[in-house]
Amino acid sequence: MSDINRIKIFDTTLRDGEQSPGASMNIEEKLRIAYQLEKLNVDVIEAGFPVASIGDFEAVKKIAQCIKGPQIAGLCRANDMDIDRAWEALKYAGDRGRIHTFIATSDIHMKFKLKMTEDQVVEAAVKAVSRAAGYTPNVEFSAEDAVRTRLPFLARVVEAVIDAGATTVNIPDTVGYTIPSEYFNIIRFLKENVPNIEKAVISVHCHNDLGLAVANSLAAVQAGAGQVECTVNGIGERAGNCSLEEVVMALRTRCDVMPFETGIVTEHIAAASRLLSTVTGIMVQPNKAIVGANAFAHEAGIHQHGVLQEKSTYEIMTPESIGLLTNKLVLGKHSGRHAFKQRIEELGYDLSKEDLEKAFCRFKDLADQKKEIFDEDLDAIIADEIIRVPEQFKLLQMNVSSGSFAAPTATVQMEVNGEVKKAALMGDGPVDAAFKVIKKLTGSQAHLLTFTVGAITGGTDAQGECTVRLSQDGKEFLGQGAHPDIIVASAKAYINALNKAASFEARESVEL
């Protein structure tokens, strides 16, 4: 494959993706995702917006220090302070560090948001790129709201920033407004009208407000774009960003009509999707392309029959190609460490010896309560025991009495900032009672938005899985918990969300 046919995948799950309501992640969580992105072999990981908060800065720095394969990008506005701060975090990646600076170029943004003229915007863009280029030759410039920018002006900005040292120029559809034919024409226009365009890679960055982010990205690739910006599970603000797994699998599956390839090791896609859902609490809809629970499920008899005879009758790609396990191995209380470890590895988890032992003990506890342990149970164990490690607040014990006669009462013992506390309260129902006690013990002011309950697998002995959505100071936090007792699962989910809110608060934040 020549350079022209090799499409770079720029993953922005940790930056644009994190802007989804409730998706905020702490440093350890971001690093965990970054390791998975490294396994996927993405070309660039956009690790955050270093000037936005101490937490963002530290996360970018840590990822720049730890991740070895992909380039590491940090976003910054077109000003000296942002660019200097970004490089302070990115310099640890050495020549793999990428400064990504942006300014809006559409009339509507220049007039109402920036209050700047065209000349002023070009000047700011050139100044920013030149400053960034003083730190590294790896500079990306984004013309925010490029799709609603007048084309001659867009071409002028792009030419100027390439002259100033930008090696990647990104043409974002910031508000998810374009359609494939229009986006194709924009990229073609730039290729044909910007004299120095061959000195830079054209990047595309699509939002999904009209459900067209993947289609638009593919159209742009066909018009000559060399980099696609996307997120795992398509998470992102509003309707989200272009989904990594969809764009990558579309390119792989239809290489007959789109002769391009990415460097993605697609067999790690399913694990990346699951890990992100676990970390953020944002579940994938069952009918989501590629990674939804039903994406490879054939319900209709005629389809099942066809697939059994010859897979390609109804299957355009194999579940194995995205790393889905088709051998449904069920573990039980007689399964030993070896079988447990093997299954955990097959599911795509890379655990330290210590974490594996913790997870194994939890598995044994669960196997005493539940006859069959499915992959979904193992996911829940890893999530609960390894990924959602309690920070400030930890559930120690709880007991609830409820029914149709006595008032529901919950007694909860918790560790709050290292101190053991206990209280009991009544509520309208057992969950209400439990949440009231937890609120009292933690002193939280967060407001409960939604609470949902589900079962991880079938059967009455299935683990309950709860999701809690809270709001605190205008920001949303999602928490999850799993346990064979649904009330304990609810309490865990509530505490998980409170921990996320507390850790976000601790990461000093500045207004952008």
Residues in contact with ligand KIV by the rule CB under 6 A = 16, 102, 142, 144, 170, 172, 174, 205, 207
Q: Which two structure tokens, joined as six digits, stand for 89?
A: 């975090």
- Number of amino acids touching Zn ion (CB under 5 A): 1
- Contact partner, 142, from Zn ion, ligand KIV, none, Cβ < 5-8 Å per class: ligand KIV
| Identity of the residue, 85 or 207, whose beta carbon is nearer to ligand KIV in the bound complex | 207
The conformation of residue 462, written as its DSSP 8-state character, comes to: P
Q: How far is the CB of 454 from ligand KIV (least distance, A)?
A: 32
The conformation of residue 77, written as its DSSP 8-state character, comes to: E
- Contact partner, 144, from ligand KIV, Zn ion, none, Cβ < 5-8 Å per class: ligand KIV
Q: How far is the CB of 144 from ligand KIV (least distance, A)?
A: 4
Rounded to whole angstroms, the Cα distance separating 107 from 145 reads: 9
Q: Evaluate whether 397 touches 386 at the Cβ level (below 8 Å).
A: no
Q: How far is the CB of 132 from Zn ion (least distance, A)?
A: 19
Q: How far is the CB of 229 from Zn ion (least distance, A)?
A: 8
| Identity of the residue, 97 or 172, whose beta carbon is nearer to ligand KIV in the bound complex | 172
| Identity of the residue, 142 or 216, whose beta carbon is nearer to ligand KIV in the bound complex | 142
Number of neighbouring beta carbons within 10 Å of residue 502: 18
Q: How far is the CB of 102 from ligand KIV (least distance, A)?
A: 4
Q: How far is the CB of 330 from Zn ion (least distance, A)?
A: 42
| Identity of the residue, 48 or 172, whose beta carbon is nearer to ligand KIV in the bound complex | 172
| Identity of the residue, 142 or 496, whose beta carbon is nearer to ligand KIV in the bound complex | 142
Residue with smallest beta-carbon separation from Zn ion: 16
Q: How far is the CB of 148 from Zn ion (least distance, A)?
A: 14
Rounded to whole angstroms, the Cα distance separating 6 from 19 reads: 29
Q: Evaluate whether 476 touches 21 at the Cβ level (below 8 Å).
A: yes
The pattern of x and - marking residues 390 through 429 that bind Zn ion according to CB under 5 A reads ----------------------------------------
| Identity of the residue, 172 or 226, whose beta carbon is nearer to ligand KIV in the bound complex | 172
Q: How far is the CB of 240 from ligand KIV (least distance, A)?
A: 11
The stretch near Zn ion (CB under 5 A) out of 9-17, 326-334, 376-384, 447-455 is: 9-17
Rounded to whole angstroms, the Cα distance separating 343 from 339 reads: 6
Number of neighbouring beta carbons within 10 Å of residue 413: 17
Q: How far is the CB of 177 from ligand KIV (least distance, A)?
A: 11
Determine, following the binding rule CB under 5 A, whether residue 16 of this chain makes contact with Zn ion.
yes
- Contact partner, 288, from ligand KIV, Zn ion, none, Cβ < 5-8 Å per class: none
- Contact partner, 246, from ligand KIV, Zn ion, none, Cβ < 5-8 Å per class: none
Q: Which residue has the tokens 């030993």?
A: 336
| Identity of the residue, 96 or 205, whose beta carbon is nearer to ligand KIV in the bound complex | 205
- Contact partner, 492, from ligand KIV, Zn ion, none, Cβ < 5-8 Å per class: none
Rounded to whole angstroms, the Cα distance separating 281 from 388 reads: 10
Q: At what angle do helices 54-66 and 80-90 cross, to 10 degrees?
A: 40
| Identity of the residue, 205 or 343, whose beta carbon is nearer to ligand KIV in the bound complex | 205
- Contact partner, 141, from ligand KIV, Zn ion, none, Cβ < 5-8 Å per class: none
Judged by DSSP in three states, 312 sits in helix
Number of neighbouring beta carbons within 10 Å of residue 407: 12
Q: Evaluate whether 507 touches 54 at the Cβ level (below 8 Å).
A: yes
| Identity of the residue, 72 or 383, whose beta carbon is nearer to ligand KIV in the bound complex | 72
Torsion sign over Cα 111, 115, 119, 125:
negative
Q: How far is the CB of 13 from Zn ion (least distance, A)?
A: 12
Interface of this chain with Zn ion, residues 244 to 303, rule: CB under 5 A: none
The stretch near Zn ion (CB under 5 A) out of 11-19, 100-108, 191-199, 316-324 is: 11-19
- Contact partner, 102, from ligand KIV, Zn ion, none, Cβ < 5-8 Å per class: ligand KIV
- Contact partner, 159, from ligand KIV, Zn ion, none, Cβ < 5-8 Å per class: none
Rounded to whole angstroms, the Cα distance separating 384 from 388 reads: 5
| Identity of the residue, 205 or 483, whose beta carbon is nearer to ligand KIV in the bound complex | 205
Rounded to whole angstroms, the Cα distance separating 112 from 354 reads: 54
Q: Evaluate whether 225 touches 202 at the Cβ level (below 8 Å).
A: yes
| Identity of the residue, 177 or 314, whose beta carbon is nearer to ligand KIV in the bound complex | 177
DSSP H/E element including 9: strand 8-11
Cα–chain center distance at 239: 13
Torsion sign over Cα 232, 236, 238, 240:
negative
Q: How far is the CB of 237 from Zn ion (least distance, A)?
A: 7
Q: Evaluate whether 204 touches 170 at the Cβ level (below 8 Å).
A: yes
Q: How far is the CB of 500 from ligand KIV (least distance, A)?
A: 23
Rounded to whole angstroms, the Cα distance separating 194 from 159 reads: 6
| Identity of the residue, 50 or 348, whose beta carbon is nearer to ligand KIV in the bound complex | 50
| Measured CA distances, 328 to 346, 347, 362, 371 (Å) | 11, 11, 21, 15
Q: At what angle do helices 118-135 and 80-90 cross, to 10 degrees?
A: 30
Rounded to whole angstroms, the Cα distance separating 259 from 115 reads: 43
Q: Which residue has the tokens 């005493």?
A: 368
Can you give the binding site for Zn ion, defined by CB under 5 A?
16
